[in-house]
Chain A
Amino acid sequence: MAWAGTGALCVMRGGVLKSYPLGTKAAAGELSFVQISDSHMGFNKAANPDVAGTLQTAVDRINGLSTPPEFLLHTGDISHLSKPEEFDTVDQILKSAVAKDVFLVPGEHDVLNDDGKQYLERYGKGSAAGGWYSFDKKGVHFIGLVNVLNLKAGGLGSLGAEQLEWMERDVKHLKHSTPIVVFAHMPLWTVYPEWGWGTEDSGQALSYLKEFGSVTVLNGHIHQTMQKVEGNVTFHTAASTAFPQPQPGKAESPGPMKVPAEQLKSLLGITDVNYVQGQHSLAIVDSKLG
């Protein structure tokens, strides 16, 4: 199962974020952190019967990095069925990471049956009532958003008016030279609406950031890396540590992809990301793993 357990190492240098596939040698920067996503603890189907093992693999790889990350971001779907023991297992595995701080946002699998009550009790300390929050690290402003609650029939992910107002206030007094990293579970750009891969009101959220020179958006949910640059904003989705999902429209549904392990290795290998620094904006180059 060496194919899974991927993550992305992000290095902030000169106010611009670059991301590298884990296992490659990244240049040291002012700030480095690792994004992991979609650990789906509790999933036990054919696509990966050992999601605890692959999450541990991801942590081992994080611990093997030449520059230890300062913290981890988990972009949601920590659990598969919102069971307490699933969250416990993830917490336990992440304790073995060299980076002790973990910043999380919920995925739709983390807020089942109780509209996120358990998630907030567990991880919501210091965040707004709805679970969203922001923090600063070495001059970079991070914003964790919740877009998996109050979803409407036929719709996509949703941030909601209250969260949008909070975000507008949150960034209002920042200097526009402040690098911004926004992270949320569902993509904050429309990847593939037919599969619900997008967020209804993400445009409104991004409009608050249009004056900023460097904005990076990190998401999970789609279990594959994908990237896009639009103006000042670089969008990036991370791979899952649990199982891959098909490329948009390449299967009947976005369900877990069942492929032989050796095939999966190469599949995940082709989807990692390099951010390349431009003058004021970022350019994206696809790169293959191994």
Chain B
Amino acid sequence: MIKLITLMILMLAQTAPTAAVKIDNFSFAPRELTVAVGTTVTWTNHDDIPHTVVSTEGSIFKSKVLDTDEKFSYTFSRAGTFPYFCSIHPKMTGKVVVH
């Protein structure tokens, strides 16, 4: 049993998918990202100005303020559409679609 669990964890570790969103020029790129359930998405701020990554509905995820080159990661454990925005510059919006 322990072996089986270990094996499963190993398999998960090997396949745990990741995806990246760049914050550049006051926008999220890609603006709409489609990923599989279990994907860890990492946002990196490339601007000279701080930004945040905050889910629009239901306080699902909320980063601290990200200064230049700082990152924020969130693992999407269920399917759905997750719109988000920068709470400092609310014109900056994006969306993660999880299948």
Interface of A with B (CB < 8 Å)? 43, 45-47, 80-82, 108-109, 112-113, 151-156, 193-196, 252-256
B residues neighboring A (CB under 8 Å)? 25-27, 47-50, 52, 56, 64-65, 67-68, 83-85, 87-91, 93
Smallest CB–CB gap between B47 and chain A, Å?
6
The reply to whether A154 and B91 contact each other, CB–CB distance below 8 Å, is yes
A194–B88 contact, CB under 8 A?
no
B83 close to A153 (CB less than 8 A) = yes
When chains A and B are docked, how far (Å) is the Cα of A154 from the Cα of B93? 6
Measured CB to CB, the closest approach of chain A to B44, in angstroms, equals 16
- Contacting pair B48 A255 (CB below 8 A): yes
Residue of A whose beta carbon sits closest to that of B68: A45
| Interface secondary structure of A, over-half rule | loop
Are B50 and A156 in contact (CB-based, < 8 A)?
no
Within the assembled complex, what's the spacing in Å between the Cα atoms of A46 and B67? 15
* Cβ-defined contact, B49 with A151, below 8 A: no
Given contacts A45-B68, A253-B25, contact A108 B88 (CB under 8 A): yes
Between-chain CB contacts (< 8 Å), 24 pairs = A45-B48, A45-B68, A47-B48, A81-B65, A108-B88, A108-B89, A109-B50, A113-B65, A151-B87, A152-B90, A153-B83, A154-B90, A154-B91, A154-B93, A155-B91, A194-B91, A195-B26, A195-B91, A196-B91, A253-B25, A255-B26, A255-B48, A255-B49, A256-B49
Chain B residue contacts of A254, Cβ below 8 A: 26
